[in-house]
Amino acid sequence: MQEMDFPTPAEPVESVEPHELKAAIDAGEPITLLDVRMESEYEKWRIDGQSVESINVPYFHFLDEEVDESVLEPIPDDRLVTIVCAKGGASEFVGGKLLELGYDVNNLAEGMNGWASIYEAVEVTNYDGPGTLLQYQRPSSGCLAYMVYDDEAAAVIDPLRAFTDRYLEDAEELGVDLDYAFDTHIHADHISGLRALAAEGVEGVISQAAVDRGVTYADEMTLTEDGDVFEVGSIDIETVFTPGHTTGMTSYLVGDSLLATGDGLFTESVARPDLEEGDEGAPEAARMLYESLQEQVLTLPDDTLIGGAHFSDAAEPAADKTYTATIGDLVESMEALRMDEDAFVELILSDMPPRPANYLDIIETNLGQQSVDDEEAFTLELGPNNCAASQGALTEE
């Protein structure tokens, strides 16, 4: 049964918009969620938070005219319950059933698709370079991007295709021209917005090394190598070649203050090394990553901010609500950054998390080797990113 086939409930079910639910979670309000997706989908990807109680009862348990008491047992009847599904249809149907039984419920509008549409811009106030730096946060997948602007010029790093219009609209609202769009690498968890922005007149930038992986659109982009500098108003953005997560992994040093590390280094972990060459190539990639971290990243001043392209549930935001941290703090908190090479390699290969959903299709799309429309692109990237090594052994308790 497709979601569009669910009958309309006899009693209307109120909806809560995704941004309203996110605001309540951020405020620490107690939230009870009933997720009616299949257990396999729920286990891979769901809405979490310190104040969130999440219950999974798949929708098919509610298809009978009379709902079995055992199905209702885990669902509280003394508080508001927000029902969640993939697109909003199944949850509305279940909500109607529960309303008839006297439960206080509402429905998350557009379900997890609506949740995946949340994209927030937060200023990085600890950034002390010229201009202003924003961090874009997508809570559904933990994807991060950056916009820096100054003197009527702007650049975006690691843009997402789904939010192409957002970057252009934000630049217009800020009164700046979006001159550059940088990709740190060929992403495996989301569809890059680089080509979509280039089609709108923005200069796209990828590393020369990334082209060696088979990028089909290199002639449409500006190619960059280690040490190249791009000017955005009075802001210098320097290319810092940091292979490891991929052979073309490239970081960008913004205003000598923040290093946008892509998937090389996060505030709670380091990159996983197996997404380009698989398990067989992971040991060599791990050694490449170690060298990049030790020689290219950790040699920068301790007060340099690190901003990755992702955050996980294990990440703690900084005081300014961004997922950034100084190199000095990361070296102190992350044991992996203080290890010798052999110990580092052994550690990050010891417990690799599941690979991102649809990662092979996403990589081929980002290489330009296959085409998908906007709806297909959005669907491909739903779910957690899983681009980091497992966090458990990487940071000190």
The full set of domain ranges for the chain reads: 3-115, 120-380
Residues 376-391 have a mean pLDDT of 83
Residues 114-132 have a mean pLDDT of 97
Q: How far is CA 267 from CA 248, 275, 322, 340, in A?
A: 21, 20, 10, 20
Report pTM.
Answer: 0.93
Confidence of residue 138 (pLDDT cuts 50, 70, 90): very high
Average pLDDT for the chain = 93
Secondary structure in 3-state letters for the chain: CCHHHCCCCCCCCCEECHHHHHHHHHCCCCEEEEECCCHHHHHHCCCCCCCEEEEECCHHHHCCCCCCHHHHCCCCCCCCEEEECCCCHHHHHHHHHHHHCCCCEEEECCHHHHHCCCCEEEECCCCCCCCEEEEEEECCCCEEEEEEEECCEEEEECCEHHHHHHHHHHHHHHCCEEEEEECCCCCCCCCECHHHHHCCCCEEEEEHHHHCCCCCCHHHCEEECCCCEEEECCEEEEEEECCCCCCCCEEEEECCCEEEEECCECCCCEECCCCCCHHHHHHHHHHHHHHHHHHHHCCCCCCCEEEECECCCCCCCCCCCCCCEEHHHHHHHEHHHHCCHHHHHHHHHCCCCCCCCCHHHHHHHHHCCCCCCHHHHHHHCCCCCCCECCCCCCECC
pLDDT of residue 222: 97
Query: Are the C-beta atoms of residues 86 and 37 closer than 8 Å to each other?
Result: yes
- For the sheet with 31-35, list strands across it: 15-16, 105-108, 81-84, 31-35, 52-56
Q: How far is CA 338 from CA 294, 341, 343, 351, in A?
A: 9, 9, 10, 19
pLDDT of residue 283: 95
pLDDT of residue 393: 44
Residue 160: what are its φ and ψ, rounded to 5°?
-100, 135
Confidence of residue 10 (pLDDT cuts 50, 70, 90): low
Alpha carbons 182 and 160: distance in angstroms, whole number = 11
Closest CA to 302 of 323, 276, 332: 332
pLDDT higher than threshold 80 for residue 6: no
Alpha carbons 100 and 241: distance in angstroms, whole number = 60
Percentage of residues in the chain having pLDDT higher than 70: 97
Contacts of 369 (CB under 8 A, 6+ apart): 214, 216
CA 391 to chain centroid, in Å, comes to: 16
Percentage of residues in the chain having pLDDT higher than 90: 84
pLDDT of residue 2: 45
Per residue in 255-295, pLDDT (tens digit) is 999 999 999 999 999 989 998 888 899 999 999 999 999 99
pLDDT of residue 212: 86
pLDDT higher than threshold 80 for residue 394: no
Per residue in 324-381, pLDDT (tens digit) is 999 999 999 999 999 999 999 999 999 788 887 788 999 999 999 999 999 999 999 9
Per residue in 178-208, pLDDT (tens digit) is 999 999 999 999 999 999 999 999 999 999 9
Confidence of residue 396 (pLDDT cuts 50, 70, 90): very low
Confidence of residue 388 (pLDDT cuts 50, 70, 90): confident
CATH topology classification for 120-380: Metallo-beta-lactamase; Chain A (3.60.15)
Q: Looking at domain 3-115, does it have CATH number 3.40.710.10?
A: no
Alpha carbons 331 and 230: distance in angstroms, whole number = 29
pLDDT higher than threshold 90 for residue 216: yes
Residues 130-152 have a mean pLDDT of 96
Per residue in 31-72, pLDDT (tens digit) is 999 999 999 999 989 999 889 999 999 999 999 889 999 999
pLDDT of residue 355: 81
- Other CB atoms within a 10 A radius of the CB of residue 261 amount to 28
What residues are labeled active site? 85
Alpha carbons 236 and 129: distance in angstroms, whole number = 9
- Tokens 């951020």 map to which residue? 26
- Other CB atoms within a 10 A radius of the CB of residue 118 amount to 15
Sign of CA dihedral 186, 191, 192, 195: positive
